[in-house]
């Protein structure tokens, strides 16, 4: 085993070459990006599907992702990935409904839609609040965990103070983001995707060979953990049903209860159900509806089916190689397993490529969130409320200032985080009750601005109350409180993320429906103007009676498409997983389901879009 943590000159050349390439891209696109806010934030809305979709994939892979996957696998097991696997069902709403609707809306930011769909001061208030909330609070937490993860990788791989190294990475990413805007983000995303895929697949192959092949890995895992632990937890894609405890309180503490809540509640209730801010930004940057749909479909296929398995394999190997994380890395926790495998198995050249893949992923995600957050602050607050008639060059300049401020504050936030996966869970909790409103505002005329205000504020308030309860309970019991990492006790349960959802979502839904029915609907003129612009279909009785559609309502035939998409992407996802872990009969069945789903998606949707 290689315990040399020094970096070879070849690795440094590879790392510095990528940094120079990124800065070169920034300089190349600087003039074009600075010409207007549409160029700086949406690349002029001229991008083809393969660039847009690959950019979506790249930006959702940050340095935190394989580390969080490692936390999942080394903790509860592979099935814990249903925490985000479940989101595919909501993401397919983005593919078949919202990718086309956002193109029809033709907005610079998704918050701009609020003053098209709603009217008056409530709409303006909601637009300003959501822009500030997602650009600042949400962005700080997301960028904080990304920086925190990069710090973990750097501290293991480069043997230097993690925060010094990360501040260097932050400075490079910031300079690149300021120079190139969204053009630089999407172009380097293409390169980053291929580097990351090559690096992660290569590491997985080397890791499996190191332990003697997949069959040997499974045997060593059983010898280490026991057959029951391996097959009922670590390698289980779906947790076992606790038949004996199904009517008791213990059931709600079981992994299966978490899985059930993930697949029945989580996917439609969260804040990204209509696409999510930076995914919507990419949908809007596509050249037309067909490219927006194809981009989002390709993103989901790569995101769920192709990219995750190399990380999972390395996480499983890390259990065999490092049953206990070395004391020197105790502050990083079990997520250190992934960079430890990298550091111990990769030689000169490959180590540099893997470090570059993490650096590229870090820069891609950071730059996306900086560009997206700045677009909110400029378009939805500064331009809308403070200086509405300035020159385009002025708004681009202000956007660059906001970018710097966001980056510095996010870096300080990172220093307070302990667990990446816990920060993920906190983010989901804060937006857990708004998903249904985001769907229905397109398809039900009765939803108004107060509906959305109530749903979001309720989710935020209840989430923070639960965090305050966790803080007070932890301090009163003389234990150390970790931000997002300490769970409250209520109803005899230690509340995990799925328990919180079962509290937050019903309260939010009851609250926003009550407020909706007690407040006036939006004026008919506002509703009619919105419907004419996007023509979504759905329940618009007072508005679309005898309406002659000039665009096809996206809701037509949606359910069959949605089921077909689930068959396609889950089929490929778990077909690949079963193939890798030597479950060949399951793999063949799942690939068959995936092929049927792919055919139906093509036949009923893609082939009909011009």
pLDDT interval class at 277 (50, 70, 90): confident
Instruction: Give me the domains of the chain, ranges plus CATH numbers.
Output: 9-28+49-522 (1.20.1730.10)
Average pLDDT over residues 335-361: 86
Average confidence (pLDDT) over 255-279: 87
Q: Which two tokens stand for residue 110?
A: 């998704």
DSSP letters, 318-342, are: HHHH-SS--GGGTTTGGGGHHHHHH
- CA dihedral of 113, 114, 119, 123, whole degrees rounded to 10: -150
Residue 358, pLDDT > 50, answer yes
**What confidence score (pLDDT) does residue 4 get?**
47
pLDDT at 103 over 60: yes
358 vs 265, more confident: 265
Is 286 exposed, middle or buried (CB count within 10 Å of its CB: 0-12, 13-18, 19+)? buried
The DSSP 8-state label assigned to residue 550 in this structure reads: S
Over range 221-241, report the average pLDDT: 80
Residue pair 550/531 in contact by the 8 Å Cβ criterion: no
Answer with the residue of higher pLDDT: 294 or 152. Answer: 294
Q: Is the pLDDT of residue 2 over 60?
A: no
Using CA atoms, how far apart are residues 152 and 338, in angstroms rounded to an integer?
10
Q: What percent of the chain has pLDDT over 90?
A: 39
Look at residue 251 and tell me whether its pLDDT is greater than 80: no
pLDDT at 549: 82
Query: pLDDT value at position 283?
Result: 85
| pLDDT above 80 for 500 | yes
Give which of 57, 50, 585, 51 is closest to 305, Cα–Cα.
57
Helix (H, G, I), strand (E, B) or coil at 58: helix
179-212: pLDDT as tens digits: 777 777 788 788 888 888 888 999 999 999 999 9
pLDDT tier at 431, thresholds 50, 70, 90: confident
What's the longest Cα–Cα distance across the chain? 74
pLDDT at 15 (0 to 100):
86
Helices 558-580 & 584-604, crossing angle to 10 degrees? 150
Quick one: pLDDT at residue 418?
57
Helix (H, G, I), strand (E, B) or coil at 605: coil
Rounded CA-CA distance 114/128 in Å is 10
Whether 420 shows a pLDDT value over 70: the answer reads: no
Distances (CA, A) of 360 to 20, 39, 131, 176, 376: 12, 23, 27, 12, 24
């Amino acid at each position: 085993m290689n315990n040399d943590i020094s970096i070879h000159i070849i690795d440094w050349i590879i790392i510095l070459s990528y940094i120079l390439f990124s800065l070169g891209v920034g300089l190349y696109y600087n003039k074009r990006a600075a010409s207007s806010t549409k160029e700086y934030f949406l690349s002029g809305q001229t991008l083809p599907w393969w660039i847009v979709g690959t950019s979506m994939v790249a930006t959702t892979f940050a340095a935190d992702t394989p580390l969080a996957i490692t936390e999942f696998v080394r903790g509860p097991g592979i099935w814990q990935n249903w925490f985000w696997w479940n989101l595919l069902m909501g993401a397919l709403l983005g593919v078949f409904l919202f990718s086309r609707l956002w193109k029809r809306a033709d907005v610079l930011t998704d918050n701009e839609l609020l003053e098209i769909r709603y009217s008056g001061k409530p709409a303006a208030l909601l637009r300003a609040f959501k822009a500030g909330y997602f650009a600042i609070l949400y962005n700080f937490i997301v960028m904080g965990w990304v920086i925190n993860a990069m710090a973990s990788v750097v501290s293991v791989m480069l043997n230097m103070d993690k925060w010094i190294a990360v501040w260097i990475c932050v400075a490079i990413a910031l300079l690149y983001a300021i120079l190139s805007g969204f053009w630089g983000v999407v172009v380097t995303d293409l390169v980053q995707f291929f580097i990351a895929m090559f690096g992660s697949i290569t590491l997985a192959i080397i890791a499996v060979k190191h332990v003697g092949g997949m069959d040997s890995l499974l045997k060593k895992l059983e010898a280490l953990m026991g057959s029951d632990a391996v097959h009922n937890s670590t390698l289980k894609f779906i947790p076992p049903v606790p038949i004996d405890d199904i009517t008791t309180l213990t059931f709600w503490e079981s992994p299966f209860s978490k899985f059930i809540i993930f697949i029945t509640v989580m996917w439609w209730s969260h804040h990204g159900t209509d696409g999510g801010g930076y995914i919507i930004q990419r949908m809007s940057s596509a050249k037309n509806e067909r490219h927006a749909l194809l981009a989002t479909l390709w993103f989901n296929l790569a995101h769920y089916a192709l990219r995750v398995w190399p990380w999972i394999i390395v996480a499983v190997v890390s259990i065999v190689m490092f049953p206990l994380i070395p004391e020197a890395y105790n502050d990083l926790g079990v997520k250190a397993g992934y960079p430890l495998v990298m550091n111990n198995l990769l030689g000169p050249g490959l180590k540099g490529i893997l470090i570059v893949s993490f650096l590229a992923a870090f820069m891609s995600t950071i730059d996306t969130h900086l560009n997206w957050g700045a677009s909110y602050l400029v378009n939805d607050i500064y331009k809308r409320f403070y200086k509405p008639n300035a020159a385009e060059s002025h708004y681009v300049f202000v956007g660059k200032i906001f970018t710097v401020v966001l980056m510095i504050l996010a870096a300080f936030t990172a220093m307070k985080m302990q667990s990446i996966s816990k920060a993920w869970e906190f983010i989901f909790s804060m937006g857990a009750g708004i998903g249904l409103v985001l769907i229905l505002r397109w398809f039900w005329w009765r939803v108004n601005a107060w509906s959305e205000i109530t749903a979001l504020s309720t989710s935020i308030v209840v989430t923070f109350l639960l965090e305050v309860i966790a803080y007070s309970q932890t301090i009163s019991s003389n234990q150390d409180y970790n931000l997002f990492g300490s769970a409250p006790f209520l109803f005899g349960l230690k509340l995990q993320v799925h328990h919180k959802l079962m509290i937050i979502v019903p309260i939010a839904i009851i609250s926003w429906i009550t407020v909706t029915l007690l407040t006036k609907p939006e004026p008919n003129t506002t509703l009619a103007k919105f419907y004419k612009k996007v023509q979504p279909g759905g329940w618009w009785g007072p508005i679309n009676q005898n309406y002659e559609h000039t665009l096809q309502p996206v809701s037509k035939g949606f359910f069959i498409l949605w089921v077909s998409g689930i068959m396609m992407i889950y089929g490929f996802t778990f077909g690949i997983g079963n193939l890798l872990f030597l479950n060949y009969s399951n793999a063949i069945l799942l690939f068959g389901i995936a092929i049927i789903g792919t055919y139906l998606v093509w036949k009923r949707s893609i082939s009909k879009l011009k």
